[in-house]
Amino acid sequence: MHETTIPTHCPYCALQCGMNLRGVPQPDADAGTAVEVVERPDFPVNRGALCGKGRTSPSLLSSRVRLTGPLVRSHATGRLEPATWEEALRTIADRLRRTRETHGADAVGVFGGGGLTNEKAYTLGKFARVVLGTSQIDYNGRFCMSSAAAAHTKAFGLDRGLPFPLEDVPRTGCVILVGSNLAETMPPALRYLMELKENGGKLIVVDPRRTKTAEQADLHLAPRPGTDLALALGLLHEVVAQGRTDEEFIAARTSGWADARAAAMAHWPELVERITGVGVPALREAVRLFCDAPSAMVLTARGPEQQSKGTDTVSAWINLCLATGRAGRPLSGYGCLTGQGNGQGGREHGQKADQLPGYRKLDDPAAREHVARVWGVAPESLPGPGRSAYELLDALGGDVKSLLLMGSNPVVSAPRAAHVEERIRSLDFLAVADVVLSETAALADVVLPVTQWAEESGTTTNLEGRVLLRRKAVDAPAGVRSDLEVLGALAGLLGHEKGFPADPEEVFEELRRASAGGLADYSGITYRRIAEEDGVFWPCPEGDEQDADPHPGTPRLFLDRFATADGLARFVPVGHRPAAEEPDAEYPVLLTTGRVVAQYQSGAQTRRVDELNAAAPGPFVELHPQLAERLGVGEGEPLAVVSRRGRATGPARITTGIRPDTVFMPFHWPGEGRVNTVTNPALDPTSRMPEFKVCAVRLEPAGPG
């Protein structure tokens, strides 16, 4: 510990709450220094508030279950056995080299994570393309935000989750929150909605469940899962029918209205009521609240996005904003509430299958030229775009023979998880870098123990596009190395002695140059500026030497023009279509999934924190009393949720806060309660996002064992 308290950020979700870490000397001098979380009220996003995950985040630093030495699978025993770093790294380098020589560069895959810092995401993408020469890289953020990103780019020419800071939310007139349970996923953000209401603003929540967030709404719309697109079209139809469009804004700032209008007019309210189950009076009330407000926002999260039509669904919500003049104006706009800790930055710096740093496209010759120059390689040496996350996982053991995986646990978090697990088991070689022996790491041939967030510095970009600095507060245990050190060492063993620094700030300096001139331009951002300004919003170009003042960063986008070539926002005409899998006689019920407050994502970290585990020890099946009665199931009785892909079990939790045609399961657990065994990998044609949020299931008494 280098100072009394170190200001930093939570390791978990995209809110990236500010916190201070304070050293706590241990009675046993050999135990070193532990850290505890102290409130950081001066950080504007959370103003000191933290959820239980943030408060307990240091416990994993000193946990007995964290990995503190490499593991290599023994040929003799078949088990993972302790190994030296040299042995572990050399094994990985040898096996990846052998795969490449035998089967070609694309036989080596790389899978990253939305929790990796900007520096790690950047280096991982560079490592894949420069050292391995493979196109086969993607990451778990594909499962998180890709539909919103695709729709954002289509409409605005640029994807930044929120084009305005959260501080604008309480000052707008109305928020439609679609498929987000902020009260559980990022509790400190709920206060923005509470302040909105205190200021006289209106909150409309769209969710098939009456969540803790929906309970705060002035109006709760509970559509059938998979019908958010029809709901948005019905609202737009009603906006037109009531003459509530903003024709001046449409003419001055948008293009494509005629086609989008025609598409919406095919979704009249009575039809939308039949599709969604949301009554016409509620639709009209939503339009009244939204249009009466002087300014308004639509915020979406995974509910509408994790669908096989997620991109079109988000486009429909954006169309609603554009038609009513609620975009590109102060206190109005569309935004996506990104989920993972670096869900925003993780998608900007090149670990995505089709992207280079700075949001540059891998198939754009000018982009390749720019990035290749920064990397000191020939543009033609860079591979082209690869497969999306699920398609990559599905190809494991086929033409992708070896995989290097960092910061992800797809055995629990991928759709059709039993199939993905079987694909992973069929690999010739798997190397995993993680802080604990996750369910995926347990299948690896080599496991590398890596540093945790408080043991290293690095930047993340929160859901607002605010670039933040996590600072090192405590030394890592002996035997643990950072992901950057791992990639640097592997690059060296694979013949690239230079170009892969282990120092995060050095990587960031290179990232700045790689991003310069791109859509996500970080070139004017430095570690010093982030520290002094509590974060800097991108785009933030460096400017030239004549500029007297540095660029201030861009908290609010699109106020003058959108980021399209002509500066106009684009309507995208979309129409409703059913989910990839609709209920039938065999599978008559809809399943939707989500999170609970005490666990995070696949639970690899939070399931290993006693306090969080005590609060949320396992999965459950939430269902309506009518459905429970039909099944003859009582509260707490074991229930199996079965789809065409598999089954997951949990005790029944009976509540009137869910539609009678729908069941809900949280997705944080492996084993019998692994609900992603059940979920559908049907992909959105544009974003390649799997349809986590809706599939057809039947329910069966699970019985003991």
Q: Measuring CA to CA, which residue among 293, 147, 255, 165 is closest to residue 559?
A: 165
d(CA 240, CA 309): 24
Q: Is 609 in the site for ligand SF4 (CB under 6 A)?
A: no
Q: Is 193 in the site for ligand SF4 (CB under 6 A)?
A: no
Q: Is 100 in the site for ligand SF4 (CB under 6 A)?
A: no
Of 72-80, 186-194, 274-282, 465-473: span binding ligand SF4 (CB under 6 A): 186-194
List % helix, strand, coil for the chain (3-state, nearest 5).
Answer: 35, 20, 45
Of 12-20, 25-33, 167-175, 244-252: span binding ligand SF4 (CB under 6 A): 12-20
CA angle 140, 142, 148 (to 5 degrees): 140
Choice between 51 and 232, CB closer to ligand SF4: 51
Choice between 211 and 687, CB closer to ligand SF4: 211
Q: Is 334 in the site for ligand SF4 (CB under 6 A)?
A: no
Instruction: Please report how close the Cβ of residue 15 comes to ligand SF4 at its closest, in angstroms.
Output: 4
**For residue 231, what are its two tokens?**
């709901």
Give the residue closest to ligand SF4 by C-beta. Answer: 54
What does 330-356 look like in DSSP terms, one character per residue?
TT-EEEE---STTTTGGGTSS-STTEE
Choice between 47 and 630, CB closer to ligand SF4: 47
Instruction: Please report how close the Cβ of residue 441 comes to ligand SF4 at its closest, in angstroms.
Output: 22
Q: Is 580 in the site for ligand SF4 (CB under 6 A)?
A: no
Q: Is 409 in the site for ligand SF4 (CB under 6 A)?
A: no
Q: Measuring CA to CA, which residue among 444, 407, 370, 625 is closest to residue 70?
A: 444
Number of residues that bind ligand SF4 (CB under 6 A): 14
**For residue 287, what are its two tokens?**
């339009």
CA distances from 636 to 205, 619, 697 (A): 28, 11, 19
Q: Is 297 in the site for ligand SF4 (CB under 6 A)?
A: no
Out of 7, 23, 54, 458, the only residue in the binding site for ligand SF4 (CB under 6 A) is 54
Q: How far apart are the first and last CA of the chain?
A: 48
d(CA 124, CA 122): 6
Q: At what angle do helices 310-323 and 146-156 cross, to 10 degrees?
A: 40
Residues present in the chain in total: 705
Q: Is 225 in the site for ligand SF4 (CB under 6 A)?
A: no
d(CA 19, CA 301): 25
Instruction: Please report how close the Cβ of residue 43 comes to ligand SF4 at its closest, in angstroms.
Output: 10
Asked if 187 and 578 count as a contact pair (C-beta separation under 8 A), the reply is no
Out of 93, 169, 178, 186, the only residue in the binding site for ligand SF4 (CB under 6 A) is 186
Out of 12, 111, 359, 620, the only residue in the binding site for ligand SF4 (CB under 6 A) is 12
Out of 6, 7, 8, 15, the only residue in the binding site for ligand SF4 (CB under 6 A) is 15
Q: Is 166 in the site for ligand SF4 (CB under 6 A)?
A: no
Q: Is 53 in the site for ligand SF4 (CB under 6 A)?
A: yes
Q: Is 17 in the site for ligand SF4 (CB under 6 A)?
A: yes
Asked if 166 and 17 count as a contact pair (C-beta separation under 8 A), the reply is no
Out of 1, 10, 336, 484, the only residue in the binding site for ligand SF4 (CB under 6 A) is 10
Asked if 239 and 320 count as a contact pair (C-beta separation under 8 A), the reply is yes
Q: Is 13 in the site for ligand SF4 (CB under 6 A)?
A: yes
Q: Is 16 in the site for ligand SF4 (CB under 6 A)?
A: yes
Choice between 10 and 403, CB closer to ligand SF4: 10
CA angle 610, 616, 618 (to 5 degrees): 105
Instruction: Please report how close the Cβ of residue 154 comes to ligand SF4 at its closest, in angstroms.
Output: 29
Residue 212 buriedness (CB in 10 A; 0-12 / 13-18 / 19+): middle
Q: Is 21 in the site for ligand SF4 (CB under 6 A)?
A: no
Choice between 56 and 245, CB closer to ligand SF4: 56
CA 259 to chain centre: 31
Which chain residues interact with ligand SF4 by CB under 6 A? 10, 12-13, 15-17, 46, 50-51, 53-54, 186-188
